[in-house]
Structure 1
Amino acid sequence: MNSSVNPYHPSRPLVKQTQSQKDCDERLVFDGEILADDYRVLMPSDLLLWLYWILIPLLAVVLIGVISAIMFVSTKGRGGPASLIAIFGVVAFLGGLLAVSVYNTRSKVRASRRLRSHPDLLGPARGKFTHKGLDFFDGEKRYWFGPAHLTKTRCLKRGIRVRVDADPVRYLAFTDRLVSGYSKQTAERLRDSWQEQAKDPSDTAGLDLWQKISSPPENAVSYEGHVTIQQSLKTKPMRKKLWTEASFVLLNIAGAALFHVLQLPSVLIWVCVGSVCLTLSANLFNWWLYFRGTQTQSWYQQGWVSATEFASRNTLNGVRFALDRFASAEVNDETIRMITPSGIAYYIPREQVVDEQAWTTLKEYFQGPEKKSGLNISNSD
């Protein structure tokens, strides 16, 4: 036996395992209400925004100088008061655009504008971060965000920013004000744990947390499988994009008209006309997509429905809430479609339940006397 080896000293692998277990036991608990200031504090810095601050004033100065020089040359210095008025009009127009641009880039303004479109990002927040994911209750719904969902979580000095979906402006802002004993180092260790789990599909720690959150009652009907639908593009974000493009078209038309009234060189007018043509063609194409287009969406889901509750998860996250939280439900022989007040739709195809009796029971949960009076039910063949 080698005397240099102490048989009573733990081997290095055991030390690593103990440290790993210690890290896994770490958690960050939060309880409070996410406010607009929390959202603003954790708003991501945008490099393009900083460039915007620098380039817009420079561009305004350059345009004013160039246009003034062109007007001076075109009138051979004899424009008199008319030229001065024209130059003043151009300066006022560009100055107004600059003022509006600078105002809209302020953090409070940006946060307020985003939250008007996404009010669900604010409100009560109670739960915890663990190595298994995020367990989050907003007063009505209980959410599970699995490790794979949390890989892009940002751990900052002032708190944790958790993306809700692919939209970068939709995030939950758990500031240090909400998190008990917040530590950026602890948050980073948890994030590292999530990233490691996401690399290993066989790691089911996250699902263990979901199963604890979503333990079904005895009368629940379970469902599981893949859903594929054709989703209409008639959505609020699409409408916002269309009207934004239309406003740019009108702005360019107004610019061309202004340049014509001020008798500026025709090249500036043609630039505006060209911009109108390009923007208008793109806008018309998007309007065509809006009225005619659809996009295919497919996902895996698993969950259950009881007489009073609903639970559903995909591979990244899940949610559990009372059945009467749905705004409406559409029931037919093949599919049940449920819609929340915010417009989120859930689908349960007939083939995802175990048998005909389960399907009948499921339909009764929406059509029977147990359903809440506030839930609008429609039946279609």
Structure 2
Amino acid sequence: MTQPDDLLPAGLADALPAEAAAQTRIMRNALDVLHAHGYDRVRPPLIEFEHSLAGRMEGVSVRRMFRFVDPASLRTLALRSDMTPQIGRIAVTSLADRPRPLRLAYAGEVALIRADQLDPARQRLQLGAELIGADSVAAAGEIVSLAIESCQAAGASDLTLDLTLPDLVDTLAAGTFPLAADQLEVVRRELDMKDAGALNDAGGADYLPLLYAAGPFANAVDRLAAIDAGGALASRISGLREVAEKVAQMWPDVTITLDPTERHGFEYQSWFGFTLYAEGARGAIGRGGTYCIRGADEPATGFSVYLEPLLEALNGSGEAADRRLFLPLDHDRQAAARARAQGWRTVAALSEHDEAAVLGCSHTLQDGEVREAASRYA
């Protein structure tokens, strides 16, 4: 019987055998893609000094992190809420002398002190890749392609790629459509909320056309280009077109959209950002884009996917057949080893009372041969 002390805090949950196995499988498949493309895996610690975690990327908030005092150093520590700043730290410290561009991959647990409104989970399994030393169009194209290939290798299908320009308002406010400092954040917020009336009231009338430069990529990017008075966004729009063209050529079944004012989840990205969606998942399965690593002012491009929504998108379709083989007490151990090499999961009897069907085994090893197990109720 479950006792009150057995309950987990809100936003935390156990991954039981089937889910844990699926998470491991899709993580391995995605990491294999990253490895094949030359991305070396690193494993940063769960806990770091608060200042280090918060100081490497623009927009990273310590209020999202669990924090406590280290009894050894008496400094404030934090439990990571995002692994990307840690990869940035590794790149500009321990790997500062490595040739650029530097390709790094990672996978691990992160924790949030508060859940997102769209996702109640406070513990997540994050996987991704970072291309350190480049934030060019070519780098953006490589990272987007890598994110798509990784998600497809994990089993996701019917993907939608939504492109955005995280620094769009800042770029326009600095020249073409100037804004006062106290207007800037208000205009950003109302664009994000898609509230035309509030945007106009905030003095952002020049920005109203951006609300309609969203949707299927081909039409939306043309509408965005028409807004680009003075050519302030010409290079960014050219970059978007190049990335979209590459994706369309490699994966014609991936839907490409554009929402140039989308800012949710893009706290530290610079000129380019993207979100990945998959059929069956309630929200985004991944995000990425270009950014700058503080302390070294080094450009980078990367992406992260979260395995829980990715697993939700699979909806059981990514489950591998569980081939369990029962090993009697007197089984042939060499035959059992050969069976495991062929992909069988073996379950050995511990007593003469153990039965194949009770232990979830469809087959049994008899006289060195794999044979179908008799039903318990036969």
Provide TM-score, normalisation by structure 1.
0.20
Which one has the bigger helix percentage?
1
